[in-house]
């Protein structure tokens, strides 16, 4: 196969932990060709089809120069055997527009994973609203008074923007309510932006678990991202410690309930965030933690993904 990855700039990759790099490495190992394109370089014009300025690359063994460019050209997305959308959040207007261009490419014959419509319909913070039985107390609002009432009810809360990633913009307000007003103003920008508020889950001390679901089936190990040095956030990007562990009975219950439903909507890869018994986010844009789980357990997550991709492409061709 010739696989096109829609990615952030290749030069920004931290290859020792990057899941897209792990996918590419496994694909090349199997003999597949690899190209990359940034979403800003997608293009459509009447009378033609969606194309992108693509880099046909080969991975090297050199950590400092981990790829070489074989050629650069404008290519139709439909000419590739598979297109993998791996652009990191934020889910901003440009990401939204990119999904529409990818949807047009699908109509032209491209096979895109995860499906663009499914990406649009499952924003990572808000996708949990469909499954209230699996989440803790949660509020989504622009209204400052609603947030204050939620705090008065639950006493210890987490506030976060809807378009963040890697733990950015997340605040905890305890029972004393210290700085609640200032935090609300910072996040909702005087009522102009919507905020998610959740009851603080003390189980975070045991880790914010990333559970990966591939083609509807859970990877048997998750990565518990454990807060360090007084932090409330377990995200690896802010210094959390990643500890791989086997899925618990509850983890399997959650994954087996959500996996088939979301897979049927065109989400080949999903990253659930679970604290204790509660789902806090459903990540669909560029779920990570492949390499951390593989390094610690020997479970080759990238191999599981590429196998699922090969099967999905074969099904799409039949």
Place of tokens 């090349």: 28
Tell the burial category of 219 from Cβ atoms under 10 Å away from its Cβ (0-12, 13-18, 19+). Answer: buried
Kindly tell me the sign of the dihedral angle through the C-alpha atoms of 94, 96, 100, 103.
positive
Q: Tell me which of 233, 235, 251, 292 is the catalytic residue.
A: 233
One DSSP character per residue, 121-162 reads: H--TTGGGGG-GGGS-SEEEES-HHHHHHHHHHHSSEEEEET
**What is the length of the chain?**
318
- Annotated active-site residue 172? The verdict is no
Active-site entry in 86, 87, 115, 125: 125
- Nearest in space to 223 (alpha carbons), one of 199, 238, 206: 206
Q: Which tokens hold the place of 108?
A: 């032209």
Annotated active-site residue 30? The verdict is: no
Give the active site residue among 86, 87, 160, 199: 160
Catalytic, out of 114, 188, 235, 283: 283
> What angle, 0 to 180 degrees and rounded to 10, lies between the N-to-C axes of helices 19-29 and 290-297?
70
Residue 233 appears among annotated catalytic residues: yes
Q: Is 25 a catalytic residue?
A: no
- Catalytic-labelled residue, pool 18, 251, 273, 292: 273
Residue 43: enclosing H or E segment and its boundaries? Answer: strand 42-43
Look up tokens 């087996």; give the residue.
256
283 catalytic? Reply is yes
Q: CB burial class (10 A; 0-12, 13-18, 19+) of residue 104?
A: middle
217 is catalytic: no
Catalytic pick from 81, 106, 281, 292? 281
Does residue 58 have an active-site annotation? no
User: Residue 12, Cβ neighbours under 10 Å: how many?
Assistant: 9
Choose, from 38, 87, 225, 251, the residue flagged as catalytic.
225
Mention every residue, 6+ apart, whose C-beta is less than 8 A from residue 53.
37, 38, 41, 43, 72, 73, 74
Query: Which among 115, 210, 235, 251 is annotated as catalytic?
Result: 210
* Separation between Cα atoms, residue 7 and residue 67, nearest integer Å: 14
Specify whether 29 is catalytic.
no
Catalytic residues: 125, 160, 210, 225, 233, 273, 281, 283
């Amino acid at each position: 196969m010739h696989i096109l990855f829609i990615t952030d700039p290749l030069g920004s990759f931290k290859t020792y932990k990057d899941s897209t790099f792990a996918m590419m490495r496994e694909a090349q190992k199997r003999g597949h060709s690899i190209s990359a394109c940034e979403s800003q370089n997608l293009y459509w014009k009447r009378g033609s089809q969606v194309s992108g300025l693509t880099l046909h690359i080969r991975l090297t063994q050199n950590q400092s120069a981990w790829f070489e460019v074989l050629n650069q050209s404008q290519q139709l997305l439909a000419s590739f055997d598979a297109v993998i959308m791996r652009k990191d959040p934020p889910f901003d207007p440009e990401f939204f527009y990119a999904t529409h261009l990818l949807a047009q490419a699908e109509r032209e014959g491209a096979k895109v994973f995860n499906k663009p419509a499914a990406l649009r319909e499952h924003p990572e913070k808000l996708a949990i609203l469909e499954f209230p039985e699996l989440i803790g107390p949660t509020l989504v609002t622009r209204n400052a008074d609603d947030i204050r009432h939620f705090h008065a009810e639950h006493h210890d809360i987490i506030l976060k923007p809807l378009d963040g990633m890697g733990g950015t913009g997340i605040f905890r307000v305890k029972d004393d309510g210290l700085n609640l007003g200032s935090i609300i103003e910072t996040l909702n920008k005087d009522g102009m932006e919507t905020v998610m508020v959740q009851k603080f889950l003390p189980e975070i001390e045991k880790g914010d678990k990333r559970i990966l679901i591939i083609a509807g089936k859970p990877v048997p190990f998750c990565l518990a991202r454990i807060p360090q040095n007084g932090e409330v956030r377990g995200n690896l990007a802010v210094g959390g410690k990643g500890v791989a562990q086997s899925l618990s009975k509850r983890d399997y219950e959650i994954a087996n309930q959500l996996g088939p439903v979301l897979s049927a909507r065109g989400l080949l890869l999903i990253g659930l965030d679970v604290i204790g018994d509660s789902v806090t986010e459903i990540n669909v844009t560029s779920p990570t933690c492949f390499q951390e789980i593989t390094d610690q357990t020997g479970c080759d997550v990238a191999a599981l993904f590429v196998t699922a991709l090969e099967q999905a492409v074969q099904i799409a061709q039949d």
